[in-house]
Amino acid sequence: MSMPDRPSSTSSQPDADRNAGSTLDFAALLCSRVCHDVISPVAAIINGFEVLEDEKAADMREVALDLIARSARQASARLQFTRLAFGAAGSAGARLDLGDAEQVVRGVIEDDRTKVDWALPRELLPKNRVKLLLNLVLLAGNTIPRGGVIHVGAIGAGEQMGFAIASTGVSARIPQGLEALVGGAVPPDGLDAHSVQPFYAGMLARDCALAVAFAQDGDTVTLTALP
């Protein structure tokens, strides 16, 4: 995929962003990212059914049923999240409910290791602003590989609301190259299904006229999105 490098600022929307967003390659990469998110629980569901069909594994029936149920819930949660974070989620100019955003975030992020402290009001915001929020929460999750707490807060209110997302956990760190991707820089080898998500987050930020910044203080990494 060939696209020119972009400046690291996310406060404006370069023409290249609009071109990147319309290419077949870029659409394919986003689809690959969605498939990557759901293929694991779907594969687990298939494995569970294979165990149920194996007459020699009758003693594993309860384990298989539990695996199928847990994996189905996980697949559903991930699909609901990606529908809002990457999908159209309504027509152009649509507004999304921050309460719905909280639900899909908790469904995907929260587990035995990671908790979400959601401090945003329940109100409607422009679609791309909410999509940006969801993508920033994903990035925040990547900064605490061993789990922890992700605090999601607002800066300002209403149409001009910005976000502050603080992740606290052991071994917290800002992944190498993450800031550059969000800033619009394309890796020398081009984007792939892993790097397309932070790159897309940067595109959303520029569309919303927000600048994304990263900071670290000990075991806390903070992402801010401000005008």
Q: What is the pLDDT of residue 25?
A: 85
Long-range own/partner contacts, residues 77-81 (CB < 8 A, 24 or more apart): 77/104, 77/107, 77/108, 78/37, 78/38, 78/41, 78/107, 78/108, 79/38, 80/104, 80/107, 81/37, 81/105, 81/107, 81/108, 81/134
- Residues of the chain whose pLDDT is less than 50? 1-16, 18-21
> How many of the other CB atoms lie within 10 Å of CB of 122?
11
Q: What is the pLDDT of residue 193?
A: 87
Q: What is the pLDDT of residue 92?
A: 58
| Contact by Cβ (8 Å): 130, 98 | yes
Q: What is the pLDDT of residue 2?
A: 40
CA distance 41 to 47: 10
| Contact by Cβ (8 Å): 205, 212 | yes
Q: What is the pLDDT of residue 71?
A: 92
Would you say domain 15-226 falls under CATH 3.30.565.10?
yes
> How many of the other CB atoms lie within 10 Å of CB of 176?
7
Q: What is the pTM of this model?
A: 0.84
> How many of the other CB atoms lie within 10 Å of CB of 27?
11
